[in-house]
C-alpha cells in the first residue's frame, strides 16, 4: 500500500484524489488545503485539514498547488527527509525545499473540474533524485493505470511548451474556424468530425505523413485564393505563417 | 433506387464508390475514368469505362475529379439537361457546364485511400439550382448515413478555408510538437492523449469555453519563459502570433 498526503484543492488535486480513492494499492491518509471549505465535502471519506502541523506520516506528499506556492509550502512543511513531489509542468524539481527528498509527478493532460478523466490515457511525467523514490512514483503511476515517462526538469519545460502548441494553440485554431463558420451563417457543428478525425489520424501516423491540403501540395493558386478571401487581418497572418511553416517542413519554397 | 454514374478514380471517388455499393437505395451503374487501369480491378462488380460517349443514363453524374478538370469534363459530356454534380470544396457550382442541371456534393473530411471512412460521421455540403435536384442530393447523403448541410458556393469557399485551419494547420502544430519532443529526446507518443482530448473536448464545449493555458490566464510570466526557451525562430513566431490571437479573443492586452 502506498500512503499519500494530498495538498491542494484545484483540478489536478481533485482528479488525483478521486483516482487514488478507486485504487486498491493507494490510500490517501489526509487531504490538506489552506481553505478547508474547498475540501470539506469529502470529510466523511478522508481526513481533511488546513493545518500543516497536523500532517501525518506518509510515503508521498503531493503538492498539487500553484507553481508560485511550491517553494513556500514545501519550506513550511514541519518535517524533513520525506518524499515531497509537485505536479507542475513548468516548476523545477529544485523549487521544492532541499530539506526533503524531491520529485515531480506531472500528469500531461487538460483538466476541467467537471469532466471525468480516464487516467489510463494520461501520460505521467515523473522525476526524482533518488532511485527508490523514482520507483515509488512509477508504482504510483501504474496503480492508477497511467503510462509513466521519465522526464527531466529541462525536458519537462520543453514538453510544457509542446503542450501549449498541442492544446492551447490547436484550440485557438478551432476557435478561428468557429469564427469563420459563424461569420458566414454556417454551423460550427459541420467542422467537428474533421477536427476529431485530424487528431485521430496522428495516433497511428506521423503528422508529417498525415499532412494534406494546398500547402503540402505546393498549390499556390489555392493559397492565393484563400488569402484574397480572408478579411480578418489576424486570420490572414496566421494563414500565412502556418502555410509557410508547412511549405518549409515539406521542402517547398516559401510564400 | 438512385442511379449514379461516377467519374474519377481518386480518394473521394473510391470512398464514394465503396459506400454507394453498400447502400440498398443507390446503384452505381457505371464508373468512368480517363485511365481505365486505375479502376479495372472493379470490373467484375461494376461496369467500368474510359469512354465518355459510352455513358449510360443515370439520375446523378458525380464528377469526383480535380478542380481544374471540372469545366472541361462537364463540357465534354455528350448530353444535356441531366444532373451533374462535383465534389470539390473550392470549385464553383458554375464551373460545371451550363448545359447540365448543376449541383455540388462535397464531403467535408480528410480522405486517405488506405484508411476506412465511416460516412455517418462525414458532413455532406450540398448545393443545387433546382429544388428537385437538391432533394435528390439530400436523399443521396442520407442513403449513406451522412448529415447534410445546405451550403452555397460562397459559403463553401469559406468552409474550405476553415477546413485548412481545422485540419492542415492543426496538423502542422502537431508536427511542431513532434519536432520539440524529438529535439529534446522525448517520444511524441507522450502528447497523443492530449491531442485527442483537445479535439474531443470541443465536440461538446465551444472552443472559447474550452481554452486553458498561460495566454487565456494572462500569465505573461510563463509566456516570457516559454519565448526565452524556444530557439527555432519559426516556432517562436507561431507562439507569439497564436498567443496574441488568444489574448485578443479573450479581451486581454496583447504582447
Q: Sketch the domain layout of chain A as residue ranges.
A: 2-151, 157-249
Name the most confidently modeled range: A102-116, B21-35, B117-131.
B21-35
Chain A to chain B Cβ contacts (< 8 Å)? 297
Q: What is the mean pLDDT of residues B24-42?
A: 97
Residue B96: pLDDT above 90? yes
Residue of chain A whose alpha carbon sits nearest to that of B175: A207
Instruction: Tell me the pLDDT of chain B averaged across its residues.
Output: 95
Q: What is the mean pLDDT of residues B94-106?
A: 98
Q: What is the pLDDT of residue A114?
A: 63
Which of A165, A183, A208 is nearest residue B173 as measured by Cβ atoms? Answer: A165
Residue B119: pLDDT above 90? no
Fold of B157-249: 1.10.1040
pTM: 0.90
Residue B117: pLDDT above 80? no
Residue B18: pLDDT above 80? yes
Residue B24: pLDDT above 70? yes
For chain B positions 134-173, those within 8 Å of chain A (CB to CB) are 149, 151, 154-155, 157-173
For chain A positions 65-84, those within 8 Å of chain B (CB to CB) are none
Cα–Cα distance measured from residue B226 to residue B233, given in angstroms and rounded to the nearest whole number: 13
Q: Which of B151, B155, B165 to mutate to test the interface with A (most CBs of A within 10 A)?
A: B165
- pLDDT lower than 50: segments of chain A: none
Q: What is the mean pLDDT of residues B123-139?
A: 97
Residue A25 in contact with residue A136, Cβ under 8 Å? Answer: no
What pLDDT, in 10s, does the model give residues A224-252? 999 999 999 999 999 999 999 999 999 99
Assess B115–A contact: CB distance below 8 Å, yes or no.
yes
Which of B163, B172, B213 is nearest residue A168 as measured by Cβ atoms? Answer: B213
ipTM, two decimals, is: 0.90
- DSSP annotation string for chain B: -EEEEEE--SHHHHHHHHHHHH-SSEEEEEEE-SSGGGTGGGTTTS-EES-GGGPPP-SEEEE-S-HHHHHHHHHHSS--SSEEEE--SSS-GGGS-TTSEEEEEEE-S---SSS---GGG-EEEEEESSHHHHHHHHHHHHHTT-EEEE--HHHHHHHHHHHIIIIIIHHHHHHHHHHHHHHTT--GGGGHHHHHHHHHHTTTS-HHHH--SHHHHT-HHHHHHHHHH---HHHHHHHHHHHHHHHHHTT----
Q: Which of A68-77, A155-164, B118-127, B227-236 has the lowest mean pLDDT?
A: B118-127
Assess A22–B contact: CB distance below 8 Å, yes or no.
no
CATH of domain A2-151: 3.40.50.720
The minimum CA-CA distance between A36 and chain B, rounded to whole Å, is 25
What pLDDT, in 10s, does the model give residues A81-116? 999 999 998 899 999 999 999 999 999 987 766 667
Residue B150 or residue A110, greater confidence: B150
Q: Which three cell numbers stand for residue B242?
A: 497564436
Question: Inter-chain contact B168–A237, Cβ cutoff 8 Å?
Answer: no
Q: Which three cell numbers stand for residue B181?
A: 519532443
The minimum CA-CA distance between A59 and chain B, rounded to whole Å, is 27
Assess B175–A contact: CB distance below 8 Å, yes or no.
yes
Q: What is the mean pLDDT of residues B53-75?
A: 96
Residues in chain B within 8 Å Cβ distance of A113: none
Amino acid at each position: 500500500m502506498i500512503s499519500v498526503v494530498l495538498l491542494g484543492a484545484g483540478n489536478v488535486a481533485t482528479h488525483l484524489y478521486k483516482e487514488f480513492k478507486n485504487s486498491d494499492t493507494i490510500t490517501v491518509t489526509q487531504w490538506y488545503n489552506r481553505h478547508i471549505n474547498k475540501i470539506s465535502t469529502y470529510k466523511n471519506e478522508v481526513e481533511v485539514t488546513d493545518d500543516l502541523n497536523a500532517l501525518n506520516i506518509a510515503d508521498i506528499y503531493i503538492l498539487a498547488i500553484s507553481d508560485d506556492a511550491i517553494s513556500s509550502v514545501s519550506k513550511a512543511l514541519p518535517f524533513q527527509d520525506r518524499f515531497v513531489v509537485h505536479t507542475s509542468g513548468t516548476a523545477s524539481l529544485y523549487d521544492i525545499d532541499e530539506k526533503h527528498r524531491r520529485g515531480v509527478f506531472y500528469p500531461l493532460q487538460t483538466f476541467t473540474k467537471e469532466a471525468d478523466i480516464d487516467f489510463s490515457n494520461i501520460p505521467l511525467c515523473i522525476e526524482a533524485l533518488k532511485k527508490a523514490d523514482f520507483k515509488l512514483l512509477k508504482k504510483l503511476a501504474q496503480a492508477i493505470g497511467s503510462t509513466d515517462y521519465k522526464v527531466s526538469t529541462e525536458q519537462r519545460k520543453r514538453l510544457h511548451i509542446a503542450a501549449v502548441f498541442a492544446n492551447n494553440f490547436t484550440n485557438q485554431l478551432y476557435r478561428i474556424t468557429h469564427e469563420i463558420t459563424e461569420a458566414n451563417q454556417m454551423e460550427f457543428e459541420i467542422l467537428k468530425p474533421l477536427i476529431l478525425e485530424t487528431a485521430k489520424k496522428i495516433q497511428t501516423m506521423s503528422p508529417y505523413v498525415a499532412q494534406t491540403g494546398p500547402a503540402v501540395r505546393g498549390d499556390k493558386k489555392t493559397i492565393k485564393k484563400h488569402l484574397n478571401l480572408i478579411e480578418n487581418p489576424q486570420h490572414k497572418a496566421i494563414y500565412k505563417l502556418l502555410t509557410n511553416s508547412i511549405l518549409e517542413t515539406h521542402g517547398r519554397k516559401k510564400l
